[in-house]
Amino acid sequence: MTQLLKDSYGRAIRDLRVSLTDRCNFRCFYCLPHGEPPIAPKEQMLSYEEIEYVCDIFVSLGIEKIRLTGGEPMMRRDIETIIEKLAALKPSLHDLALTTNGYFLPDRAQGLKEAGLDRITISLDSLKQDVFRRMTGVNVLDRVLEGISSAKRARLDPIKINAVIVRGHNDDEVADFAAFAREHDVKMRFIEFMPLDSGHEWSRRDVVSGREIFQKINERFPLIPLNGARGSETSARYRFADGASGEIGIIAPVTEPFCGACSRIRLTADGQIRTCLFSTIEHSLRDVVRSRATRAEIIEFIESVVMKKEARHYINDPDFRPPSRTMSFIGG
């Protein structure tokens, strides 16, 4: 019988985010604006064998969803290998997903599907060439759009498209993104700007609230709620009132925190468990695994860490301190 990971607040932990690498070929200003190499020493990174082993343990403890993240996870060599290994954990593992910037998808989407990947999330912060270049540091919008098309052909469904909305950058494109979702039948996810940038230049003034995002879309394309009681889902989801294809999701961790039903835990590329995206403390699963601990001892460690999961994040508290490591290290 599958055990169930629960924290001290009674929340069941069913969703594991695994960062495969801290490297990325983009330099998005809300993550790595200054182009500094964030690379941890290779010997500190979890091997594919270690990732497979600990994911098997997590699944035995009730984890149902694993999302592979980065950095840019497809910069990890032979990513199809680890996908194939993790896919072997099904059917106990219900969902195996990947978050990517889309750059490598034109050549590899079909291979990811054949390796056992269920679905994919692709970052797309602008539909305008100049804005895309300014936000990501690279001039590859056409390639990312080609990657989305490749993912659709490979049936990596449902395809989600993530856009971090930042005032003065892409907030004028919100309704255009909704039109993109309708045209391409994808799930468009709008994410509030969070304090996870390496330059620590985040300002509340730059946050476009989930409510404002909803209003911008609803004025052009009236929306109908899909998940009134959203449970552990991060996004408030909507369909188009006129029956058009596509879906809208709004993720508003700054202005509308959803911590009370959080079901997630994170594992960094160098093997640290993070109990919250905004944790200031990490717990080294890597050191436990490499100490030749038994499976039972590793389980005991994981359970003890989960019990330390925070009740909520503290973004809106006056003494909030951002994590010392940026999103590229933590994993999305």
Report DSSP state, residue 291.
Answer: T
pLDDT in tens, 55-76: 999 999 999 999 999 889 999 9
The pLDDT averaged over each successive group of 10 residues in the chain (332 residues) is 82 95 88 59 92 98 96 94 97 97 97 98 98 95 98 97 95 98 97 69 82 97 83 83 97 78 91 86 96 97 94 63 56 56
pLDDT of res. 203: 75
> What is the model's pLDDT at position 331?
56
pLDDT of the residue at 229: 60
Q: Which residues contact 279 (CB under 8 A, 6 or more apart)?
A: 310, 323
Query: Which of 125, 104, 122, 108 is closest to 158 using CA atoms?
Result: 122
C-alpha–C-alpha distance, residues 181 and 245, integer Å: 8
Q: Strand order in 119-123's β-sheet?
A: 223-225, 236-240, 247-251, 187-192, 160-165, 119-123, 95-100, 65-69, 15-19, 264-267, 272-274, 283-284
pLDDT for 1 equals: 47
Position 121 scores a pLDDT of: 98
CATH of domain 15-330: 3.20.20.70
8 A C-beta contact, residue 122 and residue 162 = yes
Exposed/middle/buried for residue 238 (C-beta within 10 Å: 0-12, 13-18, 19+)? buried
pLDDT at 196: 60
229-277 pLDDT tens trace: 655 677 899 999 999 999 999 998 888 866 767 899 999 999 999 998 7
Amino acid at 300: E
Q: State the residue for tokens 């230049």.
A: 201
β-pair partners for 283: 273
- Are 241 and 218 a contacting pair, CB within 8 Å? no
Q: Give the 3-state secondary structure of residue 90.
A: coil
* C-beta contacts of 237-241 below 8 A and 24+ residues apart: 238/214, 240/182
Are 196 and 31 in contact by the 8 Å Cβ rule? The answer is: yes
- Residue 115's nearest CA partner among 77, 86, 73 is 86
Token readout for 174 is 């919100």
Are the CB atoms for 185 and 149 separated by under 8 Å? no
- Work out whether strand 283-284 and strand 272-274 pair parallel, antiparallel, or are unpaired: antiparallel
Q: According to the model, what pLDDT value does residue 202 have?
A: 59
| Distance in angstroms between the alpha carbons of the first and the last residue of the chain | 30
